[in-house]
Amino acid sequence: LSNHLKNVKALGVLGFMGDKWLSGGTIKCYSDGSLIGCTAAFKNPYINPPNTYGYTYWDRDELKDLLKDAHTSGLHTGTHGQGDEAMDQIVGAWEEILKEHPREDHRHRIEHCGYPIEYLERMARLGILAISQPSYLYYNGDGFLTNLGPDRAKKLIPLQSELDLGFPIVLSTDSPVVAFRPLDNISAAVARVSMDGQDMG
- The pLDDT of 140-161, averaged and rounded, is 98
Over 90: is that where the pLDDT of 19 sits? Answer: no
DSSP sequence for 17-69: EE-SSSEE-EEEEE-B--TTTT-S--SS--TTTTT----BSS-HHHHHHHHHH
- The pLDDT of 154-179, averaged and rounded, is 94
- The pLDDT of 98-125, averaged and rounded, is 96
**Type of residue numbered 119:** Y
Residue 196 to residues 14, 54, 139, 144: CA-CA distances in angstroms? 46, 26, 9, 12
Read off the pLDDT band of 156 (50, 70, 90): very high
Q: Specify burial of residue 136 (Cβ count, 10 A radius: 0-12, 13-18, 19+).
A: buried
CB 98 within 8 A of CB 130: no
d(CA 24, CA 27): 9
Q: Specify burial of residue 191 (Cβ count, 10 A radius: 0-12, 13-18, 19+).
A: middle
How confident is the model over 60-90, as pLDDT tens digits? 999 999 999 999 999 999 999 999 999 999 9
Mean pLDDT taken over the chain? 94
Over 90: is that where the pLDDT of 117 sits? Answer: yes
